[in-house]
Amino acid sequence: MKRALRACLAGLALTALPAAAGAAGITYDCDTAANHFSELSLPAGPAPFTVSGIVQLNAIAASKTYAAGTHIQISSPAAPGQVPDAFAGFSLTALPLDAKKAGAQGVQMLSYMVNGREDEVVPLSTMTKPGTPQPFTLAYDGNQVVVTLGADTKTLPLKAHDPVVRITCSTGEFLFTDLTIRPSR
């Protein structure tokens, strides 16, 4: 009887694990070599919805041509490797430093991005050490994206048909954790 009860409880625990894991969101390790990029496009469903998660720079690949960077944005759909017609979100860019001279491995900068135009660097983001988890939220209502990075918030205009959540990274490793897309209604 005890053995049957233990087996039943173990079976219930194993069945509950996927649901609990899904509730926390997905993990995406966007790891690319120097001068290469990777992208992930996730269906978002109709607006309004909210995307949230944490991004963390884990490594900068040595390159004389490109800076390590990642973008997360709400966008219209686009073929892999193509720039979407409309998008808004944020970028995390990282530059390597000579640790012996600067006392740090690198510097990172968070900035807002709308339709290819970078907009102001988030205050104090350059003071954050690379490797620090950066929480974010993008809330889309069909007309605008409200981007929250830590304590900083900015509203960006956006009209995207069939919106998707698009993550790209280049020349480094960026770890996305607890990534969720939820209806806002």
Residue 103: the pLDDT is 53
In a domain, 1, yes or no: no
Between CA 172 and CA 178, with CA 177 as vertex, the angle to 5 degrees is: 160
Q: Is-cis flag, bond preceding 46, omega within 30?
A: no
> Residue type at 161?
H
In this model, does residue 15 exceed pLDDT 50?
Answer: no
Which string of b and e fits 58-97 if b means at least 16 CB within 10 Å? ebbbebeeeebbbbbbbbbebeeeeebebbbbbbbbbebe
In a domain, 11, yes or no: no
* DSSP-derived 3-state class of residue 15: helix
What totals of helices (H) and strands (E) does the chain contain, helices first?
2, 12
Alpha-carbon separation of residue 112 from 44, 109, 148 (angstroms):
20, 10, 10
pTM, whole model, 2 decimals? Answer: 0.80
Neighbours of 181 (CB within 10 A): 20
Of the candidates 158, 171, 81, which has an alpha carbon nearest to the alpha carbon of residue 119? Answer: 158
In a domain, 145, yes or no: yes
Q: What is the pLDDT of residues 119-131, one digit of tens each?
A: 677 877 777 888 8
In a domain, 90, yes or no: yes
Query: Tokens 């900015």 appear where?
Result: 154
In a domain, 116, yes or no: yes
Residue 121: the pLDDT is 78
48 lies in which domain range? 25-183
CA 134/CA 54 separation, integer angstroms: 5
Beta bridge partners of 134: 55
Q: What is the pLDDT of residues 136-170, one digit of tens each?
A: 999 999 999 999 998 899 999 999 989 999 999 99
In a domain, 12, yes or no: no
In this model, does residue 108 exceed pLDDT 60?
Answer: yes
Domain with residue 145: its CATH number is 2.60.120.200
Q: How sure is the predictor about 54, in pLDDT bands with cuts at 50, 70 and 90?
A: very high
In a domain, 110, yes or no: yes
Structural domains counted in the chain:
1
In a domain, 124, yes or no: yes
